[in-house]
């Protein structure tokens, strides 16, 4: 699943090193448009619904955080 998430992220922002970066939001590497695109792709890919309550920087600061969010939402389906 992590590989697919990386592919999604790379398709949206190929200029960002998602493997190394751990502060994607805190360092301003992703903006609100990027987040909207990421959420849309993840919702479609994994048949989940990322809600407003999950739109916290800690859920999108790294690939690991995004993976944890997706896994949590898939488990609650």
Nearest to 65 by CA among 2, 17, 3, 10: 2
Helices vs strands, H then E, count in the chain: 4, 0
Q: What is the pLDDT of residue 15?
A: 97
Q: What is the pLDDT of residue 77?
A: 76
Fold for domain 2-75?
1.10.1200
Q: What is the pLDDT of residue 22?
A: 96
Q: What is the pLDDT of residue 61?
A: 97
Q: What is the pLDDT of residue 40?
A: 97
Burial environment of residue 25 by CB neighbours within 10 A (0 to 12, 13 to 18, 19 or more): buried
CA of residue 76 relative to chain centroid, distance: 18
Residues of the chain with pLDDT under 70: none
Indicate the pTM of the whole model.
Answer: 0.94
**What stretch of H or E contains 24?**
none
Q: What is the pLDDT of residue 56?
A: 94
């Amino acid at each position: 699943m992590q590989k697919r998430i990386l592919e999604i992220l790379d398709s949206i922002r190929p200029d960002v090193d998602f493997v190394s970066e751990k502060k994607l939001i805190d360092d301003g590497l992703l903006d609100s448009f990027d987040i909207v695109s990421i959420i849309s792709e993840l919702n479609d890919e994994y048949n989940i619904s990322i809600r407003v309550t999950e739109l916290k920087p800690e859920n999108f600061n790294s690939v690991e955080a995004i993976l944890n969010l997706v896994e949590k939402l898939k488990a609650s389906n």
